[in-house]
Amino acid sequence: MSRVETKVTASSASAAAVTVIIYVTGLVGVEVSGEVAAAAVTLIAAAAGYLAPHTPRPDHD
């Protein structure tokens, strides 16, 4: 089985984390519109994927 690319892991985990943070802010009374929530998830996930290092590839000779 192949290893998951670090960039995919970083962007997926950050998207999940931002979603949870937005959910919790709603629980404490801070209203976040769906559009703002979607933009936040998209921007943070894109940044995390961009900044994460590439997963080294094994040489197949």
pLDDT value of position 29? 96
> What is the per-residue pLDDT for 3?
81
Domain boundaries, the chain: 6-51
- The encoded tokens of residue 27 equal 């629980």
Nearest to 48 by CA among 16, 22, 4, 23: 16
CA distance 12 to 7: 9
How many other C-beta atoms can be found within 10 angstroms of the C-beta atom of residue 56?
A: 8
pTM: 0.83
Q: Each residue of 29-51: pLDDT tens digit?
A: 999 999 999 999 999 999 999 99
The model's pLDDT over 8-22, given as tens digits with 9 standing for 90+, comes to 999 999 999 999 999
More confident site: 13 or 1: 13
51-58 average pLDDT score: 88
CA angle 34, 35, 38 (to 5 degrees): 85
